[in-house]
Amino acid sequence: MTQTATLTQLSDALLDAVATGALVKLTLSKATPTAGDLKSIDVRPIMVKRELKLSFTYHHQTRDVVKNYPPHEAAALVESQLQEHFRAAKLQTTGGDVQLSYVGGNYQLKRHAASVTAPPQLSHDRVKQRLVTSENKPYLHALGITDAKGVVHKNAQDKFRQINKYIEILDGLIRELASRETLRIIDMGAGKGYLTFALYDYLTYTLKMKAEIVGVEFRAELVSQCNGIAQAAQFKGLRFVEGSIADYDCAGADVVIALHACDTATDDAIAKAVKANAAMIVVAPCCHKQIRRAMTKTPVALEFLMRYGTYVERMSEMVTDGMRSQLMELSGYSTNLFEFISDAHTPKNVMIVATKLPSLPSAKETETLRAAMAKTKADFGFEAHQLERLLAV
């Protein structure tokens, strides 16, 4: 039997299990080098708006990505993934299991007794343990996230998910700073304060840390509104001040945060944080205009892509944020860039986290970083990144 025929047998077994309601889970494993940082894929049946879908959870090294597909599209995708990126699969159904292995250059199928006999749970809206709950949170009601009883409004579900994802990301990072007597945080461009309030609540009442958070916001009406909500909630360590990111002094800050600060305002926040020697910098950039306007050339290898405005925009975003990470590394930070929240909820979904290292990079590391940035600038034909000017590195 050919490899294609064997994979077709597996996809047929998957579709049969879907049709009979017997599918529990399918797992693709033993990733090949072509899979990059993708480690495995789990597939399970769910109901989305009364329609049966197969939900794929892509387990990457540092994040999980979930996407839903119609059954036949999902079956074809499973075959494709096994041809290109994985060498093993386990199909679990209430009627029996199917094991796919790659032996001696060929796929082999083996059938076993069912390891799970309970019917699958098809609900898409499974109860999830959240770090920030909605009950007994007057500030969430005041911010329009919940009703007076603590029930999240339907039109605020995405915002509530974003709040919890944000706290989930910062949870492990900030725990490393718990030894500080008082954690001082500056939130640049705090806006309506959704995330600022949630962070103060979590640090103070869940982690039992002593925290002082200042939300910096240019719009006076939002500053007044947020201070009123903070006082009503008796959040004594949280206050909001009127001012611009470029003008605010971050001296003494342990953590500097700037979420969705437009264009070079993100660079202003990073520069302020670096000069303040902040232990941690957290930014979620947006509106990448500076590099987009400055680019005058296209690398030859990318000309076929850069004919399209959409790809020019994406490339300018990647160049902008990639160089931000390099410039922070030059300044003595380690950096990580990842998806903040699925782009199904917001297109502004990239987050950069930088943590202060004990020392600046070595001479060799510095030389490598400078050479990489110089090549990028030459390839795309721009003179300098705004953060480069602000840090003067």
Q: How far is CA 231 from CA 137, 195, 238, 241, in A?
A: 14, 17, 9, 14
CA distance 328 to 331: 5
Most confident of 115-129, 156-170, 174-188, 366-380: 366-380
pLDDT of residue 60: 87
Residue 129, exposed/middle/buried by CB under 10 A (0-12, 13-18, 19+)?
A: exposed
Band of the pLDDT at 124, cuts 50, 70, 90? low
Band of the pLDDT at 61, cuts 50, 70, 90? confident
Q: What is the pLDDT of residues 151-196, one digit of tens each?
A: 999 999 989 988 998 998 888 788 888 788 999 999 999 999 999 9
β-strand pairing of 238-242 with 255-262: unpaired
Q: How far is CA 26 from CA 54, 91, 110, 266, in A?
A: 10, 4, 14, 42
Distance of CA 118 to the CA centre of its chain: 33
pLDDT of residue 341: 59
Q: What is the pLDDT of residues 287-319, one digit of tens each?
A: 899 999 999 999 999 999 999 999 999 999 999
Q: Is the pTM of this model over 0.75?
A: no
- Torsions phi, psi for 35 (to 5 deg): -80, -10
Residue-range domain boundaries for the chain: 3-112, 138-391
- Residue 336 clears pLDDT 50, i.e. is over it: yes
- Residue 120 clears pLDDT 80, i.e. is over it: no
Which of 93-114 are b and which e, b meaning 16 or more Cβ less than 10 Å from the residue's Cβ?
A: bbeebbebebeeeebebeeeee
CB 185 within 8 Å of CB 257: yes
**Coil/strand/helix, residue 315:** helix
| Range 216-239 average pLDDT | 97
Fold of 138-391: Rossmann fold (3.40.50)
pLDDT of residue 173: 84
pLDDT of residue 202: 95
pLDDT of residue 87: 93
- Residue 321 clears pLDDT 80, i.e. is over it: yes
Mean pLDDT estimate for the chain: 91
- Residue 366 clears pLDDT 50, i.e. is over it: yes
Q: How far is CA 245 from CA 15, 242, 256, 264, 299, in A?
A: 55, 10, 11, 10, 34
pLDDT of residue 232: 96
Band of the pLDDT at 345, cuts 50, 70, 90? very low
Q: What is the pLDDT of residues 44-59, one digit of tens each?
A: 999 887 788 999 999 9
Q: Which amino acid is at 293?
A: R
Which of 27-41 are b and which e, b meaning 16 or more Cβ less than 10 Å from the residue's Cβ?
A: bbebbeeebeebbbb
pLDDT of residue 183: 96
Q: Which residue has the higher pLDDT, 344 or 352?
A: 352
- Residue 358 clears pLDDT 50, i.e. is over it: yes
CB 89 within 8 Å of CB 101: no
CA distance 283 to 319: 16
- For residue 270, what is the enclosing H or E element? helix 265-275
Band of the pLDDT at 114, cuts 50, 70, 90? confident
CA distance 302 to 373: 18
Band of the pLDDT at 339, cuts 50, 70, 90? confident
